[in-house]
Amino acid sequence: MSKIKDALKLMKEEEVEYVDIRFTDPKGKLQHVTLVVDLVDEDFFEEGFMFDGSSIAGWKSIDQSDMKLIPDAGSVYIDPFYAEKTMCVHCNVVEPDTGEPYSRDPRGTAAKAEAYLKSSGIGDTAYFGPEAEFFIFDDVR
């Protein structure tokens, strides 16, 4: 069974009411849009969801703001913290005209890095994670 069919099956079995589509901005902040479950079908996973990229700091100018989120059906899970049954799905950000990964999408950048490691023979697995680190300066010149 395909990942899309698995995701749709999970929606029905869990009686999901909302689908939260998520992506990360260049600063690492999780952005999301919540949709009623009736808007999510096989086409949603294949065709994606248009959004305004100028609303994300550092991405697009207002005159060229169209962007597309392509849901990754392999990333779905039920979020236990929502009051209503909500399925979350992480998305890849792509250029709507070409379908090419957007160069400033952190998820896309991580995928490119992993592909480079494999193709160059440096490694076959990459692990990425957050690092909560900061510096305190007494003086800055």
Residue 109 lies in a domain: no
Looking at the domain assignment, is residue 133 inside a domain?
A: no
Asked, for residue 31, whether it belongs to a domain, the answer is: yes
- What CATH number is attached to the domain comprising 26? 3.10.20.70
Whether 43 maps to a domain, the answer reads yes
Confidence (pLDDT) at 1:
61
pTM equals: 0.82
**pLDDT tens, per residue, the chain with 141 residues:** 699 999 999 999 999 999 999 999 988 899 999 999 999 999 999 999 999 988 888 788 888 889 999 999 999 999 999 999 999 999 999 999 999 999 999 999 989 989 999 999 998 888 877 778 878 888 887
Q: Containing domain of residue 7, as a range?
A: 3-103
Spell 90-129 as b/e; 16+ CB within 10 A means b: bbbbbeeeeeebbeebebbeeeeebeeeeeeeeeeeeeee
Instruction: Look at residue 122 and tell me if it is in a domain.
Output: no
Determine contact, residues 16/85, Cβ cutoff 8 Å. yes
